[in-house]
Amino acid sequence: MSSLNLDDFTDLIERPDGGIRRDAEARRERQIVPPGSLGRLDELGEWLAAAQSAVPVRPVERPRVVLFAGDHGIAGLGVSARPAGSAAELVREVLEGGRPVSVLARRLGVPVRIVDMALDCDPETLPEGVVRHRVRRGSGRIDVEDALTPEEAEAAFRAGIAVADEEADSGTDLVVLGDVSVGGTTAASVLVAALCGVDASVVTGRGGLAIDDLAWMRKCAAIRDALRRARPVLGDQLQLLATVGGADLAAMTGFLLQCAVRKLPVVLDGVVTAACALVGQRIAFRAPDWWLAAHDSGEPGQAKALDRMALEPLLAHGVTVGEGTGGLLALPLVQASAALAAELPEKPKESEEPAEPEASEASEEPAQPEASGTSETSAER
């Protein structure tokens, strides 16, 4: 029997400090630029102050990109523009610096960490630091079989918890979370449809490389079939991840929840991270207060999940490449909000007007004219 009790997260996760947020709002009202004139940056600075329990807010100096990687058996149905089992190639390209996330991370000076959970390749072909948490080689085809066994799902979930603890203990002050997967958006869409109670067509998107109409129809059918398998296990979130998720998605869910426990803010990238966050919300309703939606990728499943969690994306550039790219684009905005909240000067205090001196009694009475000698002489005459 599993010793993992997901209900514990409800007790362990607290909301960001509301009192600190009110202090941050009060400080913002005293600053030289009127409140609201910086738009979302005001809200971001206050959110970050509450997450840090610090006023003024501290700068974000040690951010990190964390990418969970895996292959999904459902990709074998032709639901992705990439060949099934090719996620390892993407991982190597990220490590070699040739992917968009690599370029942005290099430019912004942010380290990238990749965690292999279920890549379909020999572990010897990748660095030890990447593969040490791997649960299995590829996840099952979720339209006809479970993605994971219950034991594998728990192992993946615990691996995500461990990675979150490692990041928090190392001094990381903000995480940009993303995925490197083939078939991951299909599994994510199943989770969103199941948890939001909608049909497959409502959440089926085109994926990172914009599949054609035939592939979209295959993807929609795969999500529909997997959704039938998901509905009976909706009451058990770990079983749901085992049935229609995957090792990378289970790990991301554990990672997100443990980051909330450790009070480590997380920036969500695309539909896969949004789906895992939605599962996390079902486990611990306060957890989304620690997460920030980076951008609107255009995936309908992402929009549905973010709406359910009341998370509004910062950007809407139509970035669908995944791999944390959209999350990194939002990072400078978060850092800018922290700098503005901390460094804008406060308005000068209004100087007191000096009080008018009170008039004396003598000054209030009209002056009496003095009699001149000439008039007296005239009277005598």
Which residues are catalytically annotated? 323
Q: How many helices (H) and strands (E) does the chain have?
A: 17, 5
Q: Name the strand (E) or helix (H) holding 178.
A: strand 174-182
CA distance 49 to 64: 19
Q: SS3 for 59?
A: coil
Maximal CA-CA distance, the chain = 137
CA distance 91 to 64: 17
Nearest alpha carbon to residue 142 among 273, 18, 241, 42: 241
CA distance 330 to 347: 29
Structure tokens at 365: 């009475």
Q: At what angle do helices 184-196 and 213-230 cross, to 10 degrees?
A: 50
Nearest alpha carbon to residue 270 among 238, 297, 244: 297
Structure tokens at 118: 């279920």
Cα Rg of the chain, angstroms = 31
Answer whether 252's CB lies under 8 Å from 158's CB. no
Q: Is 91 exposed, middle or buried (0-12, 13-18, 19+ CB in 10 A)?
A: buried
- In degrees, to the nearest 5, what angle opens at C-alpha 91 toward C-alphas 86 and 94? 135
Structure tokens at 49: 């102050």
- In degrees, to the nearest 5, what angle opens at C-alpha 182 toward C-alphas 176 and 183? 105
CA distance 94 to 98: 6
